[in-house]
Structure 1
Amino acid sequence: MRHILSAAAATIVCLLSAPAVAQSPDPVPQVRVVDSDIARFWSAYDAVRTEADPARQRDLFQRMYIDQGTPGLAAFMEAKAYTVDTYLDAIRDYPAYWDTVRPRTALAGQALDRLEVHLARLRELYPDLRPAGVYFEVGALRSAGTTQGDKVLIGVEMATGDASVDLSQMPPNLKRFFTAYFASDPLENLDLLATHEVVHTQQQGERQTLLAQVVYEGVADFVAEKATGRLPKLPYVTYGPANDAAIKTAFRADMNGEDFSGWLYNGANNRFGTADLGYYVGYAIASGYYDRAPDKAAAIKAMLELDYADQAAVQAFVDASAYLDAS
């Protein structure tokens, strides 16, 4: 799931390695936790907060955090276009946020036991599951979760927040966003978010149309639900089914375009006043495909191996779901 936000705090790197021997009877990937980025971030943060000179702040943060960061941090920075100045701007603008989220970042590890169970279930659903690295990283107010190649990148400074985090220094739009996001219990759903993003590491093909992108996200939600037994506590999950007919009509008009803004990664600034309804549409398509498939294991395999760059293949998948058929 690619939810937008950010601020400071934790970097735990979970590397999920495939069994060392192909014939191993244990299908569960091993989880290794590396937490060195967490300590590095907060050391750099403290150094920056006690230094008044901007040039010195840049040098300290670069040397103490970025230059010594894990591959996960490098990937996260590339994926979200983070720079040393992106971080420093966030630190200077929202110190109350960072100070109050700081103790919560130590709680991220509690999701790891649940994640291991979900990954075992995911491998049962899809035996060809490829190993992926799951990195819990510190961002700068832009992402709670994304992927790059075989790396899952979780912005823990967002994903561990709750109502205790001080949003008072943020502008109204960010304050609204974080308030709604924290109401979804992100820490309690961190294992679900990580599972959703692991699914993304299995998918392939660049998405050129809105239709391809919503299927890509909806498949990740659907398969993650199969592995975890639940969906995220986000508004689109309940708003979508209650307003399905109107959503479907509006989506048909936009689905072949390249503008995602009305449907994905958009906050509530759209015609329905509910964020990310493209996730609901994609989930409904995936669910319809699965329900109509005689072979459920083959349906999961087809979802995860769909080439999203092949628009004809995407359309055939959507057609097989019957979700967008005229009623």
Structure 2
Amino acid sequence: MTIPRSLSLALIVFLLSGAAVAAPASETIHRPTVSSTDIDHFWDAYDEALTTDDPARQVQILQRRYIDRGTAGLKAFMAVKGYTAQSYVDAIRAYPRYWTSVRPHTLRARSAIAELEPELRKFQTLYPRLRPAAIYIAIGALKSSGTTQDDKVLIGAELATGDDSVDTSDMPPKMRDWLATYFRSRPFETMSLLAMHEFVHTQQRGPGSTLLGQALYEGVADFVAERVTGRKPQLPYVEYGPANETAIKAAFVQQMDGENTDGWLYNDTDNAFKVRDLGYYVGYAICDAYYRKAADKTAAIAGMIELEFTDPKAVKAFVDSSAYFAPARGGD
């Protein structure tokens, strides 16, 4: 099963018409593009690569059939994550059961793309200064379900379209445990939430220069994406955070002004709570407190998105205005 190129183009037109309707009359919005053609190219290369056992030949095939034919999004994804043709061959050879089982999942990307049109409309309603960004759904080499580069949203379909039926049995234990947690959240069902989270990042001035700044950078993306989609990620930090907020705050305050994000962000469980990505929760909770205090909700959303995350003073002023840490610091 493949995604016809004509269908991909039709989806682009569908999304672009929605973005145009959402644009305020006083503004001209350059229309974004959405592409999933890299998925087709990957599986073409994959099928040919499996016709030989020669690793060097497989690298040549991945380069020629996938990378050389890639969109600007694939090239950006590879640059951000350090992917090479060798990266893909290594992953294919190491995890054959994984790739066989995830293939039909990746081909569902077209239905997720269709869901983005109303989400982009709502985003522009909430944030009228929304700048254009292209969305690319490609196949990565198991490093990221979603990231950005400048005005490009980059989705890794080999992760973002999965669920707990994907076979991870040929992976090392740590990787298998991480993917089991991720796939239990059924990311495909909330792929539009991931896309909106990453779309927020294309609008921000970041990332942050401290743990607090980076946690807020991610928390803003989570918070705004929830306002757009009405959904939260089905990941452990979302439930664990509110239930253990006092202890999390106390621990976070001790480290938040430093540059080290270990234990708080990016799938690191090296913390007292043994829960991944609690920094996302802290950033989200700060935004929630800020938003609740704001009389002008539209201005509050703009203030979050346009915050200078690289400026510790600006970050501190924003956080202080939320009063989120006031109890942890001894009250008002």
Q: TM-score, normalised by structure 2?
A: 0.90
Counterpart amino acid of residue 298 in structure 2: A
How far does the alpha carbon of each residue in 1:88-127 deviate from its partner, in whole angstroms, 9 at most, with x for none? Answer: 1100000110011101111112122322111111111110
Distance in 2 between residues matched to 1:23 and 1:128, nearest whole Å: 9
Cα displacement (A) at 1:36: 2.4
Cα displacement (A) at 1:51: 1.1
Q: 1:236·1:277 contact (CA, 8 Å) conserved in 2? A: yes
Cα displacement (A) at 1:33: 4.5
Equivalent runs, 1:224-303 vs 2, <5 Å: 224-303=225-304
Distance in 1 between residues matched to 2:319 and 2:63, nearest whole Å: 46
Q: 1:151·1:201 contact (CA, 8 Å) conserved in 2? A: yes
Cα displacement (A) at 1:144: 0.3
Structure 1: tracts of 5 or more residues without a match: 1-8
Counterpart amino acid of residue 102 in structure 1: R
Distance in 1 between residues matched to 2:199 and 2:275, nearest whole Å: 26
Farther off after superposition, 230-239 or 10-19: 10-19
SS in 1 for 2:107: helix
SS in 1 for 2:187: coil
Q: 1:29·1:119 contact (CA, 8 Å) conserved in 2? A: no
- What corresponds to 1:147 in structure 2? 148
SS in 1 for 2:239: helix
Cα displacement (A) at 1:206: 3.9
How far does the alpha carbon of each residue in 1:109-167 deviate from its partner, in whole angstroms, 9 at most, with x for none? Answer: 21223221111111111100011111111000100011110100111111111122111
Q: CA distance change for structure 1 residues 268 and 27 in 2, over 3 Å: closer, same or farther?
A: farther
Counterpart amino acid of residue 98 in structure 1: W
Equivalent runs, 1:1-327 vs 2, <5 Å: 19=20, 33-325=34-326, 326=329, 327=331
User: For the aligned residues, what is the CA RMSD?
Assistant: 2.5
Q: 2:133·2:199 contact (CA, 8 Å) conserved in 1? A: yes
Q: CA distance change for structure 1 residues 26 and 312 in 2, over 3 Å: closer, same or farther?
A: closer
Cα displacement (A) at 1:213: 0.2
SS in 1 for 2:78: helix
Cα displacement (A) at 1:20: 9.9
SS in 2 for 1:187: helix
Distance in 1 between residues matched to 2:252 and 2:293, nearest whole Å: 22
SS in 2 for 1:188: helix
Paired residues in the alignment total 319
Q: 1:221·1:231 contact (CA, 8 Å) conserved in 2? A: yes
Cα displacement (A) at 1:210: 0.4
Q: 2:209·2:311 contact (CA, 8 Å) conserved in 1? A: no
Q: CA distance change for structure 1 residues 274 and 206 in 2, over 3 Å: closer, same or farther?
A: closer
Whose helix fraction is larger, Structure 1's or Structure 2's? Answer: 2
Distance in 2 between residues matched to 1:49 and 1:84, nearest whole Å: 14
Distance in 1 between residues matched to 2:246 and 2:35, nearest whole Å: 47
Q: TM-score, normalised by structure 1?
A: 0.91
Q: CA distance change for structure 1 residues 27 and 224 in 2, over 3 Å: closer, same or farther?
A: farther
Large movers: runs of 4+ above 2 Å: 9-36, 266-270
Distance in 1 between residues matched to 2:32 and 2:24, nearest whole Å: 19
Counterpart amino acid of residue 100 in structure 1: S
SS in 2 for 1:266: coil
Distance in 2 between residues matched to 1:243 and 1:20, nearest whole Å: 43
Q: CA distance change for structure 1 residues 260 and 45 in 2, over 3 Å: closer, same or farther?
A: same
Higher relative contact order (CA 8 A, sep 6+): 1
Q: 1:28·1:123 contact (CA, 8 Å) conserved in 2? A: no
Q: CA distance change for structure 1 residues 204 and 32 in 2, over 3 Å: closer, same or farther?
A: closer
SS in 2 for 1:146: strand
Q: Percent identity?
A: 54
Cα displacement (A) at 1:64: 0.9
Distance in 2 between residues matched to 1:44 and 1:154, nearest whole Å: 19
SS in 1 for 2:110: helix
Counterpart amino acid of residue 277 in structure 1: L
Counterpart amino acid of residue 221 in structure 1: D
Cα displacement (A) at 1:310: 1.5
